[in-house]
Homo-oligomer: A and B are copies of this chain.
Amino acid sequence: MLARSTSRAIVTDRCASLGCSVCRGIDSAIKQELERLARVRRYAAGETVFGEEEEIPFVGNVVSGVLRMQKTIPDGRQQIVGLLVPSDMFGRVFSHRSQVSIEAATPVTLCCYSRRAFEALLGRFPALEHRMLLSILDELDAAQDWMMLLGCQTVMERVATFLLIVRGRSPGLSAPAPNRPTSYEIEVPINRRDMAAYLGTTAESISRSIQEMARQGVLRIADACHFEILNERQLIWLSGRGEAERRPERQLLIA
């Protein structure tokens, strides 16, 4: 009990002040209301927070761990349409049923608000709803980037892009370093199977791409989840966003 309420206090504090991106810079009246609503939930790796087509009883933000948002077709194929890391909001406001299932990819701690209550709050505080809008627009931009990745990039490019994203989120970059000795050690927080489902490929292909990068000296493999990036420029080039050194320029061949 004690331990529980202690952690709750800590966690709800983080929800409102550190945690969810929509709450940043929001006035304290709203923060207080949010704290009042907040309830902590924990899930073990592999547990389902809610399934596809299910009711959405609550929304909230991730305190620790990683969630995957995924969709499944009847024959069993799965696609991860988003990963949720600490400070991300999860759930879906203003919709009865979820279009995705949300599952714990690692053990997670969530800070949850009743969906109804949260929606009511959005109605009462337009500034909060505005924050929400901005945050969803960012998600939409990210979704479009991912469509491009899935629609027309090679597996190697996808893996490189993913590693760069992980690198971008890893500590050392979050704090604006003065002299930029940004940590070149990254930790991939999910296993190969989930990476594959996220990148629209297979665990085998992921493995081959990473080993190939190591062979090229782009990175060093400490263990399956820990890498040291040795040649960031090359990694960026592999991701397909390079300057396009020698590209054919096909369209302007009209004499």
- Chain A residues near B (Cβ < 8 Å): 69, 71, 73-79, 81-82, 92-95, 99-100, 123, 126, 129-130, 132-134, 136-137, 139-141, 143-148, 150-153, 199-200, 240-244, 247-251
A75 in contact with B133 (CB, 8 Å)? no
**If the complex has contacts A73-B240, A73-B241, A152-B77, are A99 and B247 also in contact, measured as CB distance less than 8 A?**
no
CA of A143 to CA of B99, assembled, Å: 11
A144 in contact with B100 (CB, 8 Å)? yes
Number of copies: 2
CA of A243 to CA of B248, assembled, Å: 45
Taking A73-B152, A77-B152, A150-B200 as known contacts, 19 extra A-B pairs with beta carbons closer than 8 A to each other, sorted by chain A number, are A69-B144, A71-B145, A73-B241, A74-B244, A75-B244, A75-B247, A79-B147, A79-B152, A82-B144, A92-B137, A94-B137, A99-B145, A126-B126, A136-B136, A136-B137, A140-B140, A143-B143, A147-B147, A152-B200
Partner among B144, B248, B250 whose Cβ is within 8 Å of the Cβ of A143: B144
B146 in contact with A147 (CB, 8 Å)? yes
A76 in contact with B248 (CB, 8 Å)? yes
**If the complex has contacts A94-B137, A129-B129, are A78 and B248 also in contact, measured as CB distance less than 8 A?**
no
Chain B's closest residue to A248 (CB) is B76
Question: Which 10 residue pairs of A and B lie closest in terms of their CB atoms, listed nearest first?
Answer: A151-B200, A74-B244, A143-B143, A150-B150, A126-B126, A79-B151, A81-B144, A79-B148, A77-B152, A71-B148
22 contacts between A and B (CB under 8 A): A71-B144, A73-B148, A73-B153, A74-B240, A74-B244, A74-B247, A75-B244, A76-B249, A76-B250, A76-B251, A79-B148, A79-B151, A79-B152, A81-B148, A95-B137, A99-B145, A129-B129, A133-B133, A133-B136, A143-B143, A150-B200, A151-B199
Chain B's closest residue to A146 (CB) is B147
CA of A199 to CA of B150, assembled, Å: 10
CA of A151 to CA of B149, assembled, Å: 9
A74 in contact with B243 (CB, 8 Å)? yes
Shortest beta-carbon distance from A135 to chain B in Å: 10
CA of A112 to CA of B86, assembled, Å: 39
Residues of B within 8 A of A143 (CB): 140, 143-144, 147
